[in-house]
Structure 1
Amino acid sequence: MPAPDVSVVIPLYNSAEWITLTLHTLQQQTLDPARCEIILVDSASIDHGAQLAEAILSK
């Protein structure tokens, strides 16, 4: 598989409030999904942002 053209890095520290909107917005972009990657970095959050992100991206 070739390297992606676009990488989006999202820090997830206590991000549950906005991560759903952020990921849905990224999924609506017109760039071919095979040409981009989303990297999520959870930094010991105390909310459930990482679990929300996993659920959204697994669909």
Structure 2
Amino acid sequence: MLKAYKYRIYPTSEQRLYLAKTFGCSRFIYNKMLADKIEYYKETGEMLKNTPAQYKKGI
């Protein structure tokens, strides 16, 4: 049997700003990684094995 839980949060203004920044950074890194993988595959025909931590070092 599968169970699911739903949670609702009510962040303060400061927390909302922090969440927006965090999700924005995560989205940026994900899109950058995806673009790099696609470009690398087109050039070499192999998959690029990169991690978010590798991008964190470059920022």
- Which has the larger share of helix? 2
- Which has the larger share of strand? 1
TM-score clears 0.5: no
Bigger Rg, which one: 2
Give the TM-score of the pair, scaled to structure 2: 0.28
